[in-house]
Structure 1
Amino acid sequence: MFQQIEIAPIPERQGFLVRQALIDRLGAPAESGRYRLEVTLDDQIVAFGVRGDNSAARERRTLRARYRLVDIATNAVLLDATAGSDIGIDRVSSNYAVVAAETTALERLSIEVAGQITARLALFANHTPAE
């Protein structure tokens, strides 16, 4: 079934990372697949843990995905689900280090979310009769 899934483009950097992680897991997208995977992402960074100078000591980066598996021929939604994960980031005095930590966190979250989506697709495929 995975070879029959086209992965629709996902906007922005986090979309690129999630899409690439999905391609790594599902294989190269088919030229004319039977199904289309549509993914919408919500990426948030929330600061918490206040220092004496009123700056944030930590951040939590959260990546949530709502995804739908659509039958291209009928446009029927076969699966509509969500996946998500979060990660904590220490804020240090170096802005470069904070940006690097946020970027690394996004890369890890993208892999985690893609893994959750792939696992759910495998479960769906296991419980769907073959045609």
Structure 2
Amino acid sequence: MRGLAALALGLSAAALSGCGFQPLYGEKGVGTAAAEKLNDIDISPIPDREGQKLRNLLIDKFYTSGRPGNPRYRLDVSVSAVEQKLALQKDATAVRAQLLVNAPYRLIEVGSGKVVFQSNSRSMISYNTLEQHYAAIVTMENAYDRALTDISNDITTRVAMYMGRGS
């Protein structure tokens, strides 16, 4: 039984190596890993407090060895959010809310000003609404933080995939 499992694992590994699969953050045979290419991207300032938080999350993910001195690309991101009240009670107060955060972004080649990649990242977070003022503020901030973390992960993955294609 173990021999059969080892054979199946070996065949799976052989099949993956022949299909062109390449690890996103690992080294390819020749060239630089996508994670290192993220160091060639300057992240533009993003307005508002949520934008600052998103930019800081992206900086933490993009720059493993310090900020770029002479970046080839610039990442422009904007953030917008909409809150929807859900689960209304008889007195029209909501006990549940949903936060939809939208972040369109563009990767621009600095030398030519050409947009080389653009996309949109979204995150939808549900949370309980609370009667106590401070607790309600903290709950909403936590929802924003979770949404911005999701968006930063998505942007990082998509941009790294683009950069890994040999741009």
TM bucket, shorter chain: over 0.9
- Larger helix fraction of residues: 2
**Counterpart check, 1:113 vs 2:151:** yes
- Structure 1 residue 60: deviation in Å? 0.4
Name 2:78's counterpart in structure 1.
40
Paired residues, what number?
A: 129
- Indicate the SS of the match to 1:52: coil
Structure 1 unmatched runs, 5+: none
- Structure 1 residue 29: deviation in Å? 3.1
- Larger strand fraction of residues: 1
Q: Which has the larger radius of gyration?
A: 2
Structure 1 runs of 4+ aligned residues shifted over 3 Å read none
**Counterpart check, 1:3 vs 2:39:** yes
- Structure 1 residue 14: deviation in Å? 0.8
Greater alpha carbon shift after TM alignment, 90-99 vs 17-26:
90-99
How well do the aligned residues superpose, as a CA RMSD in angstroms?
A: 1.1
- Structure 1 residue 41: deviation in Å? 1.1
**Counterpart check, 1:16 vs 2:44:** no
| Cα distance in structure 2, aligned partners of 1:119 and 1:80 | 13
- Indicate the SS of the match to 2:86: strand
Structure 2 unmatched runs, 5+: 1-36
| Cα distance in structure 2, aligned partners of 1:128 and 1:40 | 26
Residues 1-131 of structure 1 correspond to what in structure 2 (within 5 A)? 1-27=37-63, 28-129=66-167
The structure showing larger relative contact order (alpha-carbon pairs under 8 Å, at least 6 residues apart) is 1
| Cα distance in structure 1, aligned partners of 2:68 and 2:96 | 42
The 8 Å contact of residues 7 and 29 in structure 1, kept in 2 or not, is answered as: no
- Structure 1 residue 95: deviation in Å? 1.8
CA shift digits 1:34-90 (9 cap, x unpaired): 100000111111112111221111110111110000000000101010111111111
Q: TM-score, normalised by structure 1?
A: 0.93
Q: TM-score, normalised by structure 2?
A: 0.74
Name 2:31's counterpart in structure 1.
none
